[in-house]
Amino acid sequence: MGYMTAATSLISQLDSFGPQAEPASPALSQDDAWRYVRELSLGHYENFSVLSRLVPEHLRDDFASVYSYCRWSDDLGDETGSDEAARERSLELLGWWRQELRRCFSVAAGETDAGTLRHPVFITLSETARRRELSIEPFEHLIDAFEQDQRVTQYETWDQLVGYCTRSADPVGRIVLALAGHNGSKPGDAELIAMSDATCTALQLTNFWQDVRRDLFERARVYLPSAETGVSPDTLRAWARTPDDPGARVPFIKALRPLVERTRGLFEKGRPLPAALAGEMSPVVWLFGAGGESVLSAVERAGCATLWSRPKLTRRRKASLVARAWWLSRAGAWRSKPGGVA
């Protein structure tokens, strides 16, 4: 199990778990698979641990399996490189990943023998999908988004960008709601899903505004909508080379600031969600929304100059948000109106 560490690159683990890997001998046990996803989920995550104590204990393993699926999907789409050959490689790997996902849900439905699953993520996810009655659609939509990343590297309009977020971000929130028992079949679920979608889209957009430079140079992607900002990838690259030139800083900031403001409006639409859930998942949902708003505030405090520096939450700020979530849950805050986050 030495290769199963959270710090290990997931792409490097393809030798053990990828489409060309030899079947493990002996076969990977369920215990080993669950140990793998727990370790992965307790590893690197920039803002908050996926398995914080705020997550209800009986859902922690399910969170771990879902997070591990998302993390693998993300790395298969992002970590092969940024040239044309790397994009083709990502598409091949994502196609394999989709086949494994469908086999996983076939096992969960009792249609296929569990022994056909070899990847630890799908060994555990089949159990999570079965006991939580999850739908395959949001998991497939995530793959759709990562495939889109290989074909589309820039966007012209805000609506196109939000459309991408409906596949890259909103499905995660819908899965979390489903784990909490809100899969769209109950009265009021549609309202919860709408608030979740707004929050998740805002979280994705915040990540874009935070990572303008990284996306541009490491992934050859630009998420600022060019038709609305008038900013092209070539212009961004030229500006990035002149950090002290007002002729670069001023127009970039003017382009980004309205996008940040529109993103704040989406967070506002989603703020009532923890109170509307009014249950054990409220602290977790609040924390991720509050964390995202805090990052957006950090972008604003940095003057929206993220082409030259990447703002992020300090450990102190993260700790204070976790403490606040814990205190609010004990104080019964989510039985009343939720407040905003600065």
Indicate if 207 and 234 belong to the same structural domain: yes
**Residue 47 belongs to some domain of the structure:** yes
Q: Name the pTM for this structure.
A: 0.92
Cα–Cα distance for residue pair 49/212, rounded to 1 Å: 24
**Residue 342 belongs to some domain of the structure:** no
What's the pLDDT score for residue 331? 80
Identify the band that residue 339 occupies on the pLDDT scale cut at 50, 70 and 90. very low
Identify the bridge partners of residue 222 per DSSP, sorted by sequence position: 154
How many other CB atoms sit within 10 Å of the CB of residue 121?
Answer: 28
> Per residue in 203-257, pLDDT tens?
999 999 999 999 999 999 999 999 999 999 999 999 999 999 999 999 999 999 9
> Per residue in 85-125, pLDDT tens?
999 999 999 999 999 999 999 999 999 998 889 999 999 99
Indicate if 110 and 162 belong to the same structural domain: no
Indicate if 101 and 160 belong to the same structural domain: no
Q: Is the per-residue pLDDT at 1 higher than 80?
A: no
Cα–Cα distance for residue pair 308/92, rounded to 1 Å: 34
**Residue 340 belongs to some domain of the structure:** no
Cβ contacts of residue 150 below 8 Å, gap of 6+?
77, 87, 88, 90, 91, 94
Indicate if 171 and 314 belong to the same structural domain: yes
Cis preceding linkage at 311, omega within 30 = no
Q: Which of 110, 135, 151 is the last residue of a domain?
A: 151
Indicate if 163 and 200 belong to the same structural domain: yes
What's the pLDDT score for residue 25? 60
Indicate if 225 and 125 belong to the same structural domain: no
Residue 8 φ then ψ, to 5°? -70, 140
Indicate if 253 and 111 belong to the same structural domain: no
* R_g of the chain, CA atoms, integer Å: 20
Report yes or no: 120 and 17 within 8 Å, Cβ to Cβ. yes
Q: Which domain holds residue 312?
A: 154-334
Cβ contacts of residue 181 below 8 Å, gap of 6+?
none
Cβ contacts of residue 316 below 8 Å, gap of 6+?
none
**Residue 339 belongs to some domain of the structure:** no
Q: Which of 151, 183, 216 is the last residue of a domain?
A: 151
Indicate if 117 and 175 belong to the same structural domain: no
What's the pLDDT score for residue 96? 97
Indicate if 205 and 95 belong to the same structural domain: no
Indicate if 212 and 166 belong to the same structural domain: yes
Cα–Cα distance for residue pair 137/119, rounded to 1 Å: 20
Indicate if 98 and 222 belong to the same structural domain: no
Cα–Cα distance for residue pair 239/251, rounded to 1 Å: 9
pLDDT: which is higher, 176 or 26: 176
**Residue 224 belongs to some domain of the structure:** yes
What's the pLDDT score for residue 151? 95
Q: Is the per-residue pLDDT at 47 higher than 60?
A: no
Q: Which of 87, 121, 151 is the last residue of a domain?
A: 151
Structural domains of the chain, count? 2
- Give the domain CATH number at 231: 1.10.600.10
